[in-house]
Structure 1
Amino acid sequence: MDTTWRTAVSATLHCLTGCAIGEVLGMVLATWWGWGGAASILLAVALAFFFGYLLTFSGVRRSGADVATAVRTAIAADTVSILVMELADNGFILAVPGAMDATLGDLLFWSSLAASLAASLAVAFAVTVPVNRWMIGRGLGHAAVHALHGHGDAGRDHAGQHGRHGHHH
């Protein structure tokens, strides 16, 4: 696998980790607070975008970018990944009978959340790795992270950069 594909895989896994954290947190909080279906989906999506962007933003800031550059890079790099992930995840949860009405004590809540996350992560990964590869090949998104490093092997740099802040893979 060439460096650009490795970078795309690493970037996608990193983004989707943040997305999954936000999704689970949003669904748990909304269910705990007794929110309805639409409100819980909105909270989960908002937190998925927040954490997905946050993990990329943090890594870009650590690599030496200023705040504005880090924000632009995170938005450019992760919007497609998070959007695909959220469409797949929430579509799956809405398709499971009773999943939106389940409570934190219900096995259905946890099993549908786990199944929807697994399915949507697989779909989002399959869709967004090629998108990230295309963007990196054009100097967009995560390619901007590597430009900040100034190193030759972008795939190794990206994996190393993400490895330094928590081994989320």
Structure 2
Amino acid sequence: MSLQQAFHDLVTLELVVAWVGLSLLSVGVLWLDLRRHNAALPSMMKLVWTLTVLYSGLLGLAVYWYSGRTQISEDSFVRRGLRSTSHCYSGCGIGEVVGITLAAGILLLNTAGVIATTFSFAYLFGLVFTIGPLMQEGVGFREAVSDAAYSESGSIVAMEAVAIGSDVYLAGEATMGEPVFWASLAVSLSLGFLAALPINLGLLHFGVKEGMGDPSSM
């Protein structure tokens, strides 16, 4: 039995509903912590953590708890990498959900069309989530676009190569009405996060990215 067939056999509507419920519960815990203990975090990072936890449930919440709270004992290279990956992940995730739902679920494009459409949306949203904050800091539009493309492209390509590839493989010919469509999307997003983490650590190590600020200093 192939991995794809085993995944299809495992997925049921009950499992998808349970995953959604767990993700929403994790977001609730996040919001409660942000309101009571971490109101000092910038609004952009609150959005980043909300999307990260929404996509990956307990995994996203664990990443926030380890690297994103003001209560962390001290910042570290790995924590910076996790925050940087989450920032990229939050934007790319929106693009991937929109792109793959449109391409595979609505337009019913072939595999090449699904990959191209999904990657385009993910890349665009991933850049927007970097361009916006840069422009808020006073950077001009052209420079912000150039800086975002330079610092984020490697992470986005790694994330989406794994995420889109695994989603297309696992979902196969599934339609939006089938639980496997949504289950594979949830799994692929988290796999994309894990794939992008070592890339972000490398970009931080070589100074291509600066990473998000130390929350414990806020």
Same fold (TM over 0.5): yes
Alpha-carbon shift at residue 13 of structure 1 (Å): 1.2
Residues 82, 73 of structure 1: alpha-carbon distance in 2 compared, 3 angstrom cutoff: same
1:130 deviates by: 1.2
Partner SS for 2:213: helix
Contiguous gaps of at least 5 residues in structure 1:
144-153, 161-169
Higher relative contact order (CA 8 A, sep 6+): 1
TM-score when normalising by structure 1 = 0.74
Residue deviations 1:145-164, cap 9 Å, x none? xxxxxxxxx7248x98xxxx
Identity between Structure 1 and Structure 2 (%): 29
After TM superposition, the score normalised by the length of structure 2 is 0.59
Aligned partner of residue 38 in structure 1, secondary structure: helix
Q: Residue in 2 aligned with 1:131?
A: 202
- 1:26 and 1:32 map into 2 onto residues whose CA distance is 10
Let me know the Cα RMSD of the aligned residues: 2.3
Q: Hey, what does 1:14 align to over in structure 2? A: 87
Deviation beyond 6 Å, 4+ runs, structure 1: none
Query: Residue deviations 1:50-90, cap 9 Å, x none?
Result: 00000000011111101121011101111011010011112
Q: 2:102 aligns with which of 29, 38, 41?
A: 29
Is the CA contact 2:85–2:193 (under 8 Å) kept in the aligned structure 1? no
User: Does the residue aligned with 1:78 lie in a helix, a strand or coil?
Assistant: helix
> Which of the two has higher C-alpha Rg?
2
Conservation of the 8 A alpha-carbon contact between 1:22 and 1:47: yes
Segments of 5+ residues of structure 2 without an aligned counterpart are 1-73
**Equivalent pairs, count:** 143
Corresponding residue of 1:54: 128
